[in-house]
Structure 1
Amino acid sequence: MTQGAGWDGILEPGETILWQGQPQPGIIWRDALSPLGLFGVVFTGFSLFWITAAASMLAEGPGFPFTLFPLFGLPFLLVGLFMMGGHVVLDAYVRATTWYTLTDRTAYVARVILGKRTLESYPIAAMDRLELTDGMPGDVIFGVARHAHPERVARQGRARNKLVTGTVTQTGFRKITEARKVWRMIRDRQAAMERLERDETP
């Protein structure tokens, strides 16, 4: 995407694009070697054992509909397969439909997932953190997103929903080949904004 193709009405007047890119494409299988992946192996193995054992016990049983009982293990099997390796396939799909844009004022993350277009913006002046994970590819992290989840709590004899702090997700430009260059661009812009603010302070 360029400033004249799809960005009309989104960028502020005078806002200049400094860099554009996409995350590294393809499935990164080494990401499956994580605590989640290892737990997925155990979870999948237990699900297969449960399905096989249930099917063996009912092989000469009362017949339909009891023969469908082993199928109740399929959701657990699917969850285990997702934890074991499915999440890296999903991550590859999300990266393939993600575009990054850095301007002299804002970092943009655009996605098109299942036909739904989303655009997130992160003003450089509001970034309270900036971290570089160097490598090929690397990450440039400039914020966190906190997700609150409802939780059922008992209060005065009644159960009510209450929002509690849940997961924390880092936001930024992930799996990019020019991570160090982009990190330096953002740092330079932050320094320039700080100098301008000092000069304008009486």
Structure 2
Amino acid sequence: MTAPDPWAGILDPGETVLWQGRPDTRPQWAMLSPQRLTLGVVFIVAAALWGWQSAGLASAGGAMALLPWLAVPLLAVGLFNLAGHVLWDAFRRRCTWYTLTNRRAFIATDIPFRGKRLKSYPINRETILSFDESEPASIGFAFEPVPMKRSTRMKMVGFERIADGQTVFALMRGVQGKIERDFPIDPESLPR
């Protein structure tokens, strides 16, 4: 008995898997910035002061007993800004898988409380590839909007922190080249 194909119903006819991998899961301590560290310390100090000041009022009972608990969200924000964002990023990468086919790039995630997600991004001659050669390497190939309070910013999407970046980048360039051979461009049709 053969195992069922996990890609059945996902890949198009003629689409084949060229590469699969996972990102490096070590924490990136270089993400720590003086601004975030300062913000973290400010929130932790504010939480400690709030907890200390409200402890006396809590002894009065009733709704006043809840006042010290209001320090918990301040403490959580402080800890996240201090180092939690670095640990969350490492955890997020631990729950991520990458696949490159001869037509698309896939990013699969399975993050607790968010569930399993699979996103695909076409790789064609219009795809703008960016390559960060540092070890481990990262390859960007798409942008997604991230809503902000008053605007939207674009976030690069790609294969983050992969060990075999040169190989994967060459495969992606090959996919772009194959598509270009299938649909040749007439140099005379290009604008001058």
TM-score under structure 2 length normalisation: 0.80
Distance 2:116 2:12 in 1: 20
Distance 1:52 1:193 in 2: 65
CA-CA distance at 1:62 after TM superposition: 6.2
User: 1:82 maps to which residue?
Assistant: 80
CA offsets 1:156-188 (integer angstroms, 9 cap, x no match): xxxxxxxx6424322100111112221222122
User: 1:130 maps to which residue?
Assistant: 129
Distance 2:100 2:61 in 1: 60
Distance 2:79 2:37 in 1: 9
Gaps of 5+ in 2: none
User: 1:184 maps to which residue?
Assistant: 170
Alignment counterpart, residue 197 of structure 1, candidates 176, 183, 189 = 183
Q: SS state of the match for residue 11, structure 2?
A: coil
Distance 1:40 1:126, change over 3 A: farther
Q: Which stretch of the first structure deviates more once superposed, 41-50 or 79-88? A: 41-50
CA offsets 1:102-126 (integer angstroms, 9 cap, x no match): 0111000011122721100001027
Distance 2:78 2:186 in 1: 57
Distance 1:114 1:192, change over 3 A: same
Query: When the two structures are aligned, how many residues end up with a matched partner?
Result: 183
Once the two structures are superposed, the pairs formed by residues 1-202 of structure 1 within 5 Å of their partners are 5-33=5-33, 35-55=35-55, 58=56, 63-65=60-62, 66-114=64-112, 116-125=115-124, 128-148=127-147, 165-198=151-184
Verify the 8 A CA contact 2:27 2:87 in the aligned structure 1: yes
The one-letter amino acid paired with 1:44 is: I
Q: SS state of the match for residue 102, structure 1?
A: strand
Q: What is the root-mean-square deviation of aligned Cα atoms in Å?
A: 2.7
The one-letter amino acid paired with 1:64 is: G
The one-letter amino acid paired with 2:60 is: G
Distance 1:41 1:138 in 2: 32
Verify the 8 A CA contact 1:107 1:121 in the aligned structure 2: yes
CA offsets 1:61-82 (integer angstroms, 9 cap, x no match): 8621324322212111111111
Distance 1:68 1:167 in 2: 38
Q: SS state of the match for residue 184, structure 2?
A: helix
